[in-house]
Chain A
């Protein structure tokens, strides 16, 4: 579904991302982990054509993202709060996104009604503007908005951050359902190794812009990841 070839991004000759080849097949739930500055958000921004690659190309369903815009109808994303329109209510925001994705109000209502649990009665029908919601509730609205219009590719940057524990668990279930039952390709990034290994079939570790690990998730993955990151943090201990 998503094919990355020779992509690199550098600012003032400092390379922040360099991936020679990465293929994400259709329907895979794909997790990206790495420390701050590893290039996770850069990769997602390139994938969404928000920044220009220095070299190389990313294609989404065989459409090169910075050449054509035809990938937009089947791709949706939530990167950060700047994806929200502060002066709309959550409902209005959902309808607006729905309009852009060819969904009428009934379609959008049908979809959002499935997330009543997830919203925990704090989003819909509150007559509040998005800008007046708490960070966590903003995130919930943004994530659900990214599910409108049956996208085939969903990109979520740090979806678990800022959410309360209950919502995190519910979100994991939603993401799993999407990938398993509906064959949606999901790309998420996270600092939370446990959540990522729970949700994703495959995990790629980025370090200083390069892929250093590419794992199929199995029961030992979490241990392996923890060992990897712990090792990087305290190299002295290992030597002893």
Chain B
């Protein structure tokens, strides 16, 4: 049975037009994976000497265990945004003579093979080796490593439980963030020293192997809980149950002032507000807005002026990056209809453009309070906003013409929680890194004002040539019309 499943997925993956069109992206992913593997390897080997140096009077093994808590928190957060439960189209399988539990075991088992689970091994194993080399008792180190592997798997399954619950709520990422924040807060403000507790627990396991039963039991509980959740979902009516929501009609007549693109803007706004996927990109704007708070309050970063445009692009452009990269795939499920209708491509694209520009404007205004951390930040954010409007928005639209991946908004496929993973963040990177590099070089050579001026000039140039650029972009879309229609009518 498992053999059949693997065979099915292999075909699904390699026969999809997405794979064929996005070879470059796949290669990039491989390189990124290799990069992280190397980083973790170095970390694994270097951790012990580093700890010895930083905490000379303490046992590095004990110190390392004290950090396990923070690693778990960060890992949970990262996974929530990057790792998705492997999707499998189960509907065709339901009527076949396959046990439901087999399907669920398979999906869960497959998730255990995720890259996210192997990555920590590249740090854990070298660290363990270093411990043994440094005369720690071999059996207890081995037990400790085993415990770590179990922890990785626990995080893996815990993440899916969190995702399953948060996908039911509107603000999908709130539960995870509040959970991590509360745990971290408890620890940081000294109510319950979770980091020490957890550290002691692992030390206990290392010295008393019988205790390994405890993490194993937690793993078993997490797994069976996942199993239960998924098995309940494996009925047609639960994934198909039409949650018939009363339609809330908002007054969108204000869009009329945009003239001939008004119908498209209304459509886009409804698209964003009425679908789970798109709605989450609105809420991600909140995260984007707060992103600066990771950096600016800390004096180290406040002196790194070259970083400001990067943060500025992210803060003002988070919606642009998040929403823009799936143009026109948002409309993929009815793309055929649009193409046979009496519409002008240019209007259709301009509506998306205006939407992105509006979001950049709003985000800039909302980010003005960052001026508290220095006027340079405000100036850099302003330049970034102009750059976003003039350059990145057009790049997004142009890039969209290469889009061949259908997005199923109606999304009834079981197991499909959020649909996108690491890929979407990687696409956004060049958009943020390029202006940062340009600025950093100019800032270094000629000073802050020149760097800002160049970013603004680039943005203004984009705005001045907007009509011309749109013409080129529209032509691109026209040229790839048939290919897009074909790709969007495929299911995977």
Do chains A and B stick together as partners? yes
Instruction: Classify chain A: how many residues form its interface, as a range.
Output: 20 to 34
- CB atoms of B267 and A50 under 8 A apart: no
Whether a CB of chain B sits under 8 angstroms from the CB of A100 is yes
- CB atoms of A86 and B409 under 8 A apart: yes
- CB atoms of B247 and A82 under 8 A apart: no
- CB atoms of A85 and B246 under 8 A apart: no
Give the chain A neighbours of B247 by CB distance below 8 A: 89, 127-129
Mask: chain B, 366-402; 1 = CB below 8 Å from A; 0 = not:
0000000000000000000000000000000000000
B378–chain A nearest beta-carbon distance, Å: 38
- Across chains A and B, which 5 residue pairs bring their CB atoms closest together, nearest first? A99-B263, A83-B337, A87-B274, A72-B342, A48-B340
Give the chain B neighbours of A88 by CB distance below 8 A: 267, 270
Q: Find A100's partner among B341, B485, B489 (CB 8 Å cutoff).
A: B341
- CB atoms of A85 and B244 under 8 A apart: no
Whether a CB of chain A sits under 8 angstroms from the CB of B271 is yes
- CB atoms of A87 and B341 under 8 A apart: no
- In B477-492, which residues have CB < 8 Å from any A CB? 482, 485-486, 489
- In A120-138, which residues have CB < 8 Å from any B CB? 127-129, 131-132
Give the chain A neighbours of B486 by CB distance below 8 A: 51
Whether a CB of chain B sits under 8 angstroms from the CB of A92 is yes
Give me 9 A-to-B residue pairs in the complex whose CB atoms sit less than 8 angstroms apart, sorted by A's number: A50-B336, A50-B485, A51-B486, A82-B337, A83-B337, A85-B333, A85-B337, A86-B334, A89-B247
Consensus secondary structure, chain B interface: helix
Give the chain A neighbours of B267 by CB distance below 8 A: 85, 88, 96
User: In the bound complex, how far is the Cα of B267 from the Cα of A149, in angstroms?
Assistant: 19
- CB atoms of B244 and A72 under 8 A apart: no
- CB atoms of A129 and B274 under 8 A apart: yes
Give the chain A neighbours of B275 by CB distance below 8 A: 87
- CB atoms of B336 and A132 under 8 A apart: no
Whether a CB of chain A sits under 8 angstroms from the CB of B134 is no
Whether a CB of chain A sits under 8 angstroms from the CB of B410 is yes
- CB atoms of B410 and A86 under 8 A apart: yes
Whether a CB of chain B sits under 8 angstroms from the CB of A29 is no
- In B247-280, which residues have CB < 8 Å from any A CB? 247, 249, 262-263, 266-267, 270-271, 274-275
User: In the bound complex, how far is the Cα of B339 from the Cα of A49, in angstroms?
Assistant: 8
User: In the bound complex, how far is the Cα of B337 from the Cα of A75, in angstroms?
Assistant: 12
- CB atoms of A77 and B340 under 8 A apart: yes
- In A144-197, which residues have CB < 8 Å from any B CB? 149
Closest to B332 in A: A82
A229–chain B nearest beta-carbon distance, Å: 28
Given contacts A87-B271, A88-B270, contact A82 B334 (CB under 8 A): yes
User: In the bound complex, how far is the Cα of B246 from the Cα of A129, in angstroms?
Assistant: 8
- CB atoms of B242 and A82 under 8 A apart: no
Given contacts A48-B340, A77-B340, A92-B270, contact A84 B485 (CB under 8 A): no
Q: Find A87's partner among B340, B409, B489 (CB 8 Å cutoff).
A: B409
Give the chain B neighbours of A100 by CB distance below 8 A: 263, 341-343
Give the chain A neighbours of B410 by CB distance below 8 A: 86, 131
Whether a CB of chain B sits under 8 angstroms from the CB of A208 is no
Question: A-side interface residues toward B, CB under 8 Å?
Answer: 48-52, 72-73, 75, 77, 79, 82-89, 92, 96-97, 99-102, 127-129, 131-132, 149
- CB atoms of A73 and B342 under 8 A apart: yes
User: In the bound complex, how far is the Cα of B333 from the Cα of A48, in angstroms?
Assistant: 17
Which of B249, B270, B486 has most A Cβ within 10 Å? B270
Closest to A88 in B: B270
- CB atoms of B342 and A84 under 8 A apart: no
Give the chain A neighbours of B263 by CB distance below 8 A: 96, 99-100
- CB atoms of B343 and A82 under 8 A apart: no
Give the chain B neighbours of A75 by CB distance below 8 A: 340
Give the chain A neighbours of B343 by CB distance below 8 A: 72, 100
Closest to B335 in A: A82
User: In the bound complex, how far is the Cα of B335 from the Cα of A52, in angstroms?
Assistant: 16
Given contacts A99-B263, A100-B342, contact A84 B337 (CB under 8 A): yes
User: In the bound complex, how far is the Cα of B271 from the Cα of A84, in angstroms?
Assistant: 13
User: In the bound complex, how far is the Cα of B247 from the Cα of A100, in angstroms?
Assistant: 23
A128–chain B nearest beta-carbon distance, Å: 6
Give the chain B neighbours of A50 by CB distance below 8 A: 336, 339-340, 482, 485
Given contacts A89-B247, A128-B247, contact A72 B341 (CB under 8 A): yes
Which of A51, A77, A83, A97 has most B Cβ within 10 Å? A83
B273–chain A nearest beta-carbon distance, Å: 9
Given contacts A52-B482, A96-B267, A128-B247, contact A86 B339 (CB under 8 A): no
Closest to B272 in A: A87
A201–chain B nearest beta-carbon distance, Å: 25
- In B301-353, which residues have CB < 8 Å from any A CB? 333-337, 339-343
- In B100-131, which residues have CB < 8 Å from any A CB? none
- CB atoms of A86 and B333 under 8 A apart: yes
- CB atoms of B340 and A82 under 8 A apart: no
Given contacts A96-B263, A96-B267, A132-B242, contact A84 B334 (CB under 8 A): yes
A33–chain B nearest beta-carbon distance, Å: 22
- CB atoms of A85 and B334 under 8 A apart: yes
B87–chain A nearest beta-carbon distance, Å: 19
- CB atoms of B340 and A72 under 8 A apart: yes
- CB atoms of B244 and A83 under 8 A apart: no
Which of B242, B247, B337 has most A Cβ within 10 Å? B337
Given contacts A52-B482, A97-B341, A100-B263, contact A82 B270 (CB under 8 A): no
Give the chain B neighbours of A101 by CB distance below 8 A: 341-342
- CB atoms of B336 and A83 under 8 A apart: yes
Give the chain A neighbours of B245 by CB distance below 8 A: 129, 132
Mask: chain B, 223-248; 1 = CB below 8 Å from A; 0 = not:
00000000000000000001011110
- CB atoms of A132 and B485 under 8 A apart: no
User: In the bound complex, how far is the Cα of B266 from the Cα of A73, in angstroms?
Assistant: 21
Closest to B242 in A: A132
B184–chain A nearest beta-carbon distance, Å: 37
User: In the bound complex, how far is the Cα of B485 from the Cα of A213, in angstroms?
Assistant: 31
Closest to A73 in B: B342
